[in-house]
Every structure is written in structure tokens, then in C-alpha cells.
Structure 1
């Protein structure tokens, strides 16, 4: 059974298109998996639930795992993984799980007839993907075609514009009195025309058969009492996020965006230290390398290196910051000279460099690893945008868990962090993100070396 409140409202709505969510932990995926069960004994019923990537379907705790925990006890339910993940129910209906990573993946669904289409995390899909699949939303099994979707807030997504009527334009929070209210729309030449009633659109000369009813139903973690009881620590996890992500995932804010001052403030520093503490258990210097000495507008690019240490008590220390405008050859010399100085000063420090995409990036990475033979060095491909990569470090910064050594680079460092992500240069933030990721990456290996006392290669962790 659905839980009382938004989840029940989502499963009860008569809208052709219903979007459910607005915060993390509201029971969205569970509701999406529950939806098709009402028609599983209807002969010819076909349904599909999409995720953005294949991994999100078969990963531990993903759609397939969740569906297995729900469906295995149902009479006639048979799970199958070939040719794609799907459930067959009493040989009458089928529920597929599939991905739409790119617009080109839509070609696989040409000519399809799908009574129920679900999108888990709708903001991850393009507007074209959504409306194209709407054209596949048809049925001959007697079930009126319909679409259900879940999502978390994303101010920059097309979904934010699509559901704008249900969102307060000043605060960004869902309007409680509008949650679950049905409106009507038609899409003509990529433009959506809205009406409060179907009659409003018909009076404008729009064919009634082209009109779709739409609703948005807001939910928060507080609406999912089962999760709150089973995992009371989940709320603490959300509160440990950055201010921006707390607003999005905890409070359901659809207007919040990354802006200067929302990630790092110098007033959030735990302590300004006159000397380094002696209880550091792990050191890492993260690098952000400038490929050239100038950017396309003639402004010199920067190379940054930031050292972060983790203490036994779980706090972090920013111990050193380098930020220089250099040519490509000078960057290599700087990295090697700095690694030599770091090795002499800091115990078992890891130098972490970013790897650019493509073959050129791999070759550059191999070159740096060869140049830094004998040092603890990692070259890691970067994934996600700069803001996403900065969020783990920013969360600790905002919680007051980061201390900073007093040095002449402080003002330069604070100025860039406080202007992130709006500032033109973000090199010191990127370098900090890389250092923090390395600190929290788990096991770190040194370059293998022959240890005569052991008679074999040794590694430290």
C-alpha cells in the first residue's frame, strides 16, 4: 500500500502526466515501481521505466534490486534479464527497465506501443527524450496511456520550467495548495500552451484529442515515515550536504543555484592555525594544471596545487597553496620541484593530478607518472562539473571542519573560494577538490620499491 499523503496522491491521480518529488527520500522510486502493479493481469499491458544509464538499473540498490524486493512475492511474477531487464506477469503483461543515455537511444523505441511510461529522475533526461516517448505512449490493451515521473529539484533543467505553475517564483518551494492540482497542456511546434481547464484550450481552437492533463505532487523526507523509522540517520546525511544541496534535496527548492558565497566563506573556517598539528594521518596535494600559459582571450591560465591533511580527530587542514601562471614546460618543472619539497616536509604525501579526456590526456598522464617515479603519485580522470566535484569539500568547509594554516597565500585562496563558482578562474578550488577526494579515497598505494628486509615489493596504506 502507498503511504498516506503525497505517495498515495501520486498513485491516485487521474492525470495523463504526473510528476512526483521535489526532495530526496520521499519514496519516489518505490511509488514508481508500485504504479504498474494495478494492471499486471491485463493481457497485452506493456510498461517501461527509464533511467539515464544502464548502471542505475542494475547497480546495488538500483531499480532492479528494488523491484525484486517488491515483486518476487506476486503470483505469476517472473524476473528476466534477457534481452533486457524485465518482469513478466502471468504471461499477460510485461514491465521493462531500460535506459536513455542519449537522444539516439530513442531510435530503439520507434513503432512501440507502451501503455505506461515511467521516468525515474526526470531532470536527467532531455526534453526531446520526454516528449518523443510521449508519442510512443499508446495502447490497445484497454488501459488509457499515461506517464509517471519522479525527480529532485534542478533549477537549470527543462523540468523546472515545465512545472513552474506549481512552484513559488519567489522562494522556489512548491506551493502546497497547488500540489496535485491538474492543469492541461498541448505542445505545438516545441511550445507548450497551458490551460486551467480543457475547455480553455478547446476554445482556442485546439483539438481535444491533443490535450494532456498534467500534475505535480511535491514530497519531502518527512512524508516517508517508513524510511524515517528504518533509517533515522538519513536526515543527518542530508543535513551534512552543502547549503545548495540541502535546499534542493532536503527542502525541495527549485530556484536555488550555485552562486558566489554559497559554497565557501572565510568565516566558516574552523581555526586559523599558526603551526601545523602533529596528528595528521594522511596528506595529499591536489593539482589543477594549466595546459597553456594563456587562454583564448589572452589572459594567462593558472596552475594550482593545494595540500590538505586529515587529522586523527577527523578534521582537515589546508596546509599549503600554490597558484602560478606558467607555460606548459614550466608547469612540469613546478610539479616535480614541488613533489620533491613535499616529500621532504610531509610524511607519506600523495601527489594527485587530473587526467584530461582522450588519448592526449592518457599520454600526458603517463608522462607525469614517469617523471615522478619514486613519488607517491596518482593521475585520476575527472568526472562531473567543477561544482559537483567541489561539493564534498564544501560540505566539510561549511560545517566548520576545515582549518587553515596562516600564510601569505590566505587572502588569494579565500578570495577565489568565496567567489566560486562565478569567478573566471577556479583552479585553486579544483586543486582543493582533488586533494580532498584523494584524502577520502580509501587505500593509497606508494610506488613499489624493493625491500630487502622483506625480500619482496612493499606498499604502504
Structure 2
């Protein structure tokens, strides 16, 4: 089998590598810390089938450059595959071919449209190196190409470093500690590593269960309909995949530590956040430095019981039937003393609830701030004296300098100020409020923590003005949903500006618009 008489044994190391390579799951995701040997085990995977003539595997990276990088995926494959007798590589097409005719290809999916390059393909083994770099759409489409006529049951193997902002983080959440109060929050749960769960994809949604039968009962209508269309040729098992997740640690990779001991030192030199993610394998620590809200400081808003009470305000983000979630925040200083939400609300319900909350908490209408963008515009005629929050309006003047702050609009200004205030420990949401339902799936606490990852700094514009990323970009982090909880939370910062100065600005703005109307 080998090119010379010297026998060299290639085998996985105990720990992550052996666990990943011995799993019977249809889909295995290795998502541990950096240096666990995830790519090595990925490259070993197809070798068990290279004696089968028609076997084919494809290993994807997002770009060809990432495959060809010095010491990257292609170079790593050479260190393993060229040791096998009669193996041949083709640099131009990034392909390995073995004596039986079995093939392993390396390819990219740089753009979503690249998935259609694989129409009609049959790939017994599909591998993703750094799965978090790929979109959910890419993964699901390639799942449809995962089929085989060579005798090897089709399956998928993937690796990645932790990325809490990716769709993968939601996909593997059962295997990761999701309790913000736990000391192991964001870390893989040891007893769940390698445990199989089952999933079916229906209307682009993942339906999970502990057994295939449990998933089938949840998707029975969809699956039975497809079986009937196939006239019974396919079985329900073909719609339900077994999945597992396996974390890993650089400390399990003894070979790496022997050959490159400085690698561990390099990981320890990273920032606290990067160490948590890359060395600790934490799936709740953002890899991006553009978060408005620091992760740890954001969790403090639920324990900062020292925050004093003060003047009462209401901030409300308006939504009507068919749009986002309508929310009402009741503040005493920067303590959140009550919260209300309503899905699929009607105009009269919105008005009635805002007034009811104001009466309940003895809050004057002039201390109500409502989002005046979109559907919120009708509020002004029904709650006299309530203040308007216009997301896209000019930033407000600094209380000390009286000059406008350097933001491209009010929404960005308040989000940046909100982030600074949270990071300084100025907010508190007590347990009885945090545990209130936001919707049918999450409490307010859970929703706020979930949305935090979507609020990010954008690059300064040509004038150097600061802004948050656009709403559509935020939705990409939230599966298409809007940050309804944090929008209402952020609006509290509006009250920190000189209210009289704000009134003058809006008064002049209204007079100016009236004069323009008269002129026209």
C-alpha cells in the first residue's frame, strides 16, 4: 500500500479525533477549540473508502485561496495522501485519485450561486472545513447533493471554530451549555459530546428530536406526503438525519504540542474574548470586535441590583399585526420595572395598552417615547404629548457642548450610548421582569441575550460618522428577525439628553416643515 518498504502508520489521536472518526452519525460537526486536530481528522475520513472504485468525496472551503494557502488544506492533504501507494494529485483541479479510482476533491463555495455548480452531483462524503464560513443555504443545498450509488451510505463531516454569530451556533445548541448563569456557559456539555440527535428539514427549518420516531411525529404530514408522491419507494428514515457535535481541545493534540509548542503560547497571548473562544472553545464569546454590547457586561444588567430608581419613563417600539413584536418598557431611572409585549397587535390594542401601562405606573404622557418610524406614526394623534423617536433623524446635541455628536443618525447615537452605559454597569433588569415572556419561545432575558450579537458597529462613513450596521444585516444574525427587544431597550438613552433642547429641535423642525409646506 505504501511507496517504500518503510511502514508509516497514520492514525487519529485519542480524544476528539478518535471520537469524531468513530461516530456513526450522518452528520458530525467538530466544533472545538483551535488546535484540536479537526482538519487532520477530516482528511483521514475518506481514507476508509479509497478501495471503492466509484467512491467520491468533496472537501469544501469558502474560497480557493483558503484551500491553497501556505500550510492550508491542500498542503495538509499532501502530508497524508502522498504517503499512500499509487495516489496521484492534480494541482490544477485540487484532486486526489487513488489506485481503485476513488477520488477526493477540494473545492470552494465562495458565493451562494456557486451551489448550482453542483446540480446533478452525487457525492457520497461531503466535508466542510470551517462550516461557520458557509451560509445555511449552502449547507442545506449541498445536503441534497449528498447521495451515493457506490455502496457507501452518504454522510457529512464538518469542522469549525466557535462562532456565536453563525447559524451553526443555533444548529448545535443542544450540545452546548445555554444557561447564562452557569460557570460553563457557552462550553460543550461533556456528557453530550458524541450523543446522537435527529433532525428533519421542513420549509427551511430544523425539526429536532431525541429519536427518529419523535422527529417523524413532528413532521408526519410533510414526510407522509413525500412518501406518497414517491409511491412508497422512499422511507421516512430518508428524511431524518442523525447528527452529533463533538468539541475538542488543543490539549488533546499531543502531536501538535510536541512539534509546535509555541502554538499554545500564541493562543494564550490573545485577548480574553479570543482565548475563551479559540483556547476554551466557548460558543458564546463573539469573535468580532465590533459588538456594541460587551458580552460579559451585558449579562451584568440582570445582576446590577445597586442601580437606583429615578424618574419614570416608557419606551415603546410599535408593531402591528403582520409586522414585528410590539414592546413596552417601563423605567424607573435605568431600572426596568415592567415589560409588556404583544404579537399581531391591532392599532386600538396598541393605544389602549400604552395608556393602561401609563395609568398603572403613574407616568405622564410627556414621559412616553414611541418609535415614530413606519407603523408607529399614528400614535401621535392618540396619545397627546408623547415624544417621538425617529431612527433616521439627526443625532442630538451633547448636553455639555451643545453640539451634535458624531453619528450618522439618532438610532446609532442611542445604540452607541446604550452600549457604553451597559458596559459601565448603569442598567438593571430584575428577575421578575427578565423572566416575563417576550414571545411564545423566549423570555425577555433570553431574547435580549440572543439579540445582542446582532448589534454591531459599522465602518465609519466618509465623514467619519459612526453608525450601527443596517437592520437587514442585523436580521442576518437573527434568522431574519428584527432586534425588537433591543430597539425598545436602546431608546431609553434618548431621555439622557437635555429634553428641553430636544423639544426646541423638534419644534423648529416642525415649524420648518410647516413653512416649506406653505411655500410649496
- C-alpha contact (below 8 Å) 1:243/1:262 kept by paired residues: no
| Aligned twin of 2:65 | 55
Q: Which secondary structure does the structure 1 equivalent of 2:17 belong to?
A: helix
Q: Does 1:298 align with 2:394?
A: yes
- Aligned match for 1:184, one of 198, 205, 225: 198
TM-score, length-normalised on structure 2? 0.52
1:300 to partner: Cα distance: 8.8
Give, in whole Å, the separation in 2 of the partners of 1:6 and 1:134. Answer: 24
Give, in whole Å, the separation in 1 of the partners of 2:82 and 2:257. Answer: 25
Q: Does 1:8 align with 2:18?
A: yes
TM-score, length-normalised on structure 1? 0.58
CA RMSD of aligned residues (A): 3.3
Give runs of aligned pairs for residues 390-401 of structure 1, distance below 5 A.
none
Distance 1:18 1:196, change over 3 A: same
Give, in whole Å, the separation in 2 of the partners of 1:53 and 1:236. Answer: 29
Give, in whole Å, the separation in 2 of the partners of 1:178 and 1:236. Answer: 29
| Aligned twin of 1:94 | 103
Give, in whole Å, the separation in 2 of the partners of 1:148 and 1:121. Answer: 11
- C-alpha contact (below 8 Å) 2:292/2:456 kept by paired residues: no
Unaligned runs of 5+ in 2: 1-10, 180-184, 224-235, 298-390, 398-404, 409-416, 425-452, 465-520
1:60 to partner: Cα distance: 0.5
Give, in whole Å, the separation in 1 of the partners of 2:27 and 2:133. Answer: 17
Instruction: Considering Cα pairs closer than 8 Å and 6+ residues apart, tell me whether 1 or 2 has the greater RCO.
Output: 1
Q: Does 1:116 align with 2:130?
A: no
Q: Which secondary structure does the structure 2 equivalent of 1:169 belong to?
A: coil
Give runs of aligned pairs for residues 61-460 of structure 1, distance below 5 A.
61-82=71-92, 84-170=93-179, 171-204=185-218, 205=220, 206=223, 207-257=236-286, 258=291, 260=293, 297-299=393-395
- C-alpha contact (below 8 Å) 2:395/2:406 kept by paired residues: no
1:262 to partner: Cα distance: 6.9
1:296 to partner: Cα distance: 5.6
How many residues align? The count is: 294
- Aligned match for 1:20, one of 30, 41, 64: 30
| Aligned twin of 2:43 | 33
Distance 1:44 1:261, change over 3 A: closer
- C-alpha contact (below 8 Å) 2:292/2:457 kept by paired residues: no
Distance 1:326 1:32, change over 3 A: closer
Q: Which secondary structure does the structure 2 equivalent of 1:181 belong to?
A: coil
Distance 1:179 1:80, change over 3 A: same
Higher strand share: 1
- C-alpha contact (below 8 Å) 2:285/2:295 kept by paired residues: no
Give, in whole Å, the separation in 2 of the partners of 1:425 and 1:99. Answer: 28
Q: Which secondary structure does the structure 2 equivalent of 1:79 belong to?
A: strand
Q: Which secondary structure does the structure 1 equivalent of 2:201 belong to?
A: strand
1:25 to partner: Cα distance: 0.4
1:423 to partner: Cα distance: 8.7
Structure 1, residues 62-104: CA drift from partner, whole Å, max 9, x if none? 111000111111012100023x211000151110000001111
- C-alpha contact (below 8 Å) 1:21/1:220 kept by paired residues: no
Q: Which secondary structure does the structure 1 equivalent of 2:66 belong to?
A: helix
1:254 to partner: Cα distance: 0.8
Higher helix share: 2
